[in-house]
Amino acid sequence: MDGRARHSASRAHLSAQANHRTTISAFGRRHKPDYWILILGSLLLAVGLVIVYSISPGLAASQNISQSYFITKQLIDVGLGVLTFMLASYIPLNTWLKLAKPLAIAAVVGCLIVMFTPVDAVYQAHRWIRLGSFSFQIAELIKITLVVWVAAFLAQRFREGKLGNFNATLKPLLVVLLAIALVVAKLQSDLGSAGVMIAVVGLMAFSAGIPLRRVMLIAGLVALIGVIAISSSSYRRERVTAFLHPQTHCQGNGYQACQALISVGSGGALGLGLGYSVQAYGYTPEASNDSIFAIIAEEVGFVGSMIIVVIYGLFITRLKRVIEHTNDQFSRLLVVGVLAWFSTQMIINIGAMIGLLPLKGITLPLISQGGTSLIFLTAALGLVFQISRYTSYDVTEPNSSSAQSPGAGNNSNRWGVRRPHNSALVARPRT
């Protein structure tokens, strides 16, 4: 029995060593992760907690509920977000690759369930799955599913040398974009989330190496669909008109945009001070969610708002750095997708609050109150944190002919002379 036990232990040890070597060859040698991702993300979460706490009296007074409700909810959401971050950061990258199809199936099933879920009296759209006090926005699951599935799909086409093939690559991507337009923009009436998803797919396709002219062709088709979607809905036409002429629609569809601009303008250079927001007392709709940047500008002014924008900029820079130092195509595209998701959502939210873009109901990443959005975004960032453990300073140009596994990249220059890094998001072969 002792001999058998030693033999079994030896085999298990050899198997673990083989798996470790496979991980190193596919994704690079494991090392310390990029802790700046953790630090900057924690700063943004802390900002969200402070702002929600500071405006809780105003929110409670306008909605006639307990002051502790909002900060308690935010603390729970942040706690769940931290847990999903930790979980995602320890799931092996090969497992994420295997999760592409199950996530896609879960997203499709979720879209079917949400269409049969009764709508809320306030938000009359099929966007949430509701079970009592619990609500789940299906669009957030679709976002992380898109990132994982498109990364796996494009990495496979890259290995096969079929990125420029219409039937093999472009046609499936077009089907995905049309599904987003139909399901998310039309049936769920969530044009903002649809815009984020389209940006994710577009940037990932461009970064993978699909020729620019074909990406622009797809972008033109998407723009046409967007024009049709807006022109076919009187509500959306009114929102666009209110965006172009907010002062003349302040008592109608332009009410939130006008109140957001009042909030931003009231803050001046240094703000009114934490806890001294006036607009949070029922004047600015969704003060803790979509409009939270306007409330931030009111309380901490232009200077405080710019500090937060700088933190976002540093965060995006760290994500870009992970992309530049990642030496396998699947991992690189995963981070590109998360960067597109994070940055597009931030730009849309801030742009809407300062009057540069129409209001789209998009949360401010890691700061806005919104459990589903925060939990899935922290999970995506946990995935990036995991990938940052395998970055390398000897990244070489991807070579589809040398890839041997779903995560494999070209390591032909691993022991060669160190060269300057490509300033582009990823190495982009062109045909």
Tell whether the model's pLDDT for residue 254 goes beyond 70.
yes
Q: What is the mean pLDDT of residues 326-335?
A: 92
Terminal CA-CA length for the chain? 62
Percent of the chain with pLDDT over 90: 44
Q: What is the mean pLDDT of residues 84-100?
A: 92
Q: What is the mean pLDDT of residues 333-339?
A: 96
DSSP secondary structure letter of residue 118: P
Distance CA 223, CA 211 (A): 19
For residue 265, what pLDDT is reported?
92
Instruction: Kindly state whether residue 323 falls inside one of the protein's structural domains.
Output: yes
Tell whether the model's pLDDT for residue 290 goes beyond 50.
yes
Instruction: Kindly state whether residue 397 falls inside one of the protein's structural domains.
Output: yes
The whole-model pTM stands at 0.83
Say which amino acid occupies 143.
Answer: K
> What are phi and psi for residue 277, nearest 5 degrees?
-70, 135
> What are phi and psi for residue 110, nearest 5 degrees?
-60, -40
What Rg value do the Cα atoms of the chain yield, rounded? 23
Domain span holding position 195: 45-402
Instruction: Kindly state whether residue 410 falls inside one of the protein's structural domains.
Output: no
Supply 207's token pair: 């970064």
Distance CA 336, CA 154 (A): 12
- 42 or 227: which carries more pLDDT confidence? 42
Are 387 and 151 in contact by the 8 Å Cβ rule? The answer is no
Q: How do 134-137 and 128-131 pair as beta strands? A: antiparallel
Q: How many CA atoms lie within 13 Å of 282's alpha carbon, on the beta-carbon side?
A: 6
Instruction: Kindly state whether residue 299 falls inside one of the protein's structural domains.
Output: yes
b/e 271-309 (16+ beta carbons within 10 angstroms → b): bbeeeebbbbeebbebbbbbbbbbbbbbbbbeebbeebe
33-80 pLDDT, tens per residue? 899 999 999 999 999 999 999 999 888 888 888 888 899 999 999 999
Are 399 and 328 in contact by the 8 Å Cβ rule? The answer is no
Q: What angle do CA 383, 388, 393 make, to 5 degrees?
A: 155
Domain count, the chain: 1
Instruction: Kindly state whether residue 17 falls inside one of the protein's structural domains.
Output: no
Q: Which residue do the tokens 């310390």 mark?
A: 32
Q: Which of 108, 113, 144 is nearest to 377 (CA)?
A: 144
113-136 pLDDT, tens per residue? 888 776 665 555 667 777 766 777
Q: Which residue do the tokens 């002051």 mark?
A: 67
Say which amino acid occupies 392.
Answer: S
Are 430 and 336 in contact by the 8 Å Cβ rule? The answer is no
Helix (H, G, I), strand (E, B) or coil at 285: coil
pLDDT-derived band at 30, boundaries 50, 70, 90 = confident
Are 423 and 327 in contact by the 8 Å Cβ rule? The answer is no
Supply 389's token pair: 């453990």
Q: What is the mean pLDDT of residues 269-290?
A: 90
Average confidence score pLDDT of the chain: 81
Instruction: Kindly state whether residue 274 falls inside one of the protein's structural domains.
Output: yes
> What are phi and psi for residue 296, nearest 5 degrees?
-60, -45
Which residue(s) pair with 65 in the sheet?
none
Q: What angle do CA 83, 87, 91 make, to 5 degrees?
A: 175
Say which amino acid occupies 375.
Answer: I
Q: Is 137 left (phi over 0), alpha (psi -120 to 50) or beta?
A: beta
Instruction: For 329-396, list the strands marked E by DSSP.
Output: none
Instruction: Kindly state whether residue 422 falls inside one of the protein's structural domains.
Output: no
349-407 pLDDT, tens per residue? 999 999 888 888 889 999 998 888 999 999 999 999 999 998 886 655 455 444 434 43
Are 173 and 206 in contact by the 8 Å Cβ rule? The answer is no
List Cβ neighbours of 164 (8 Å cut-off, separation of 6 or more): 210, 211, 214, 431
Instruction: Kindly state whether residue 5 falls inside one of the protein's structural domains.
Output: no
Are 138 and 106 in contact by the 8 Å Cβ rule? The answer is no
Distance CA 159, CA 409 (A): 9
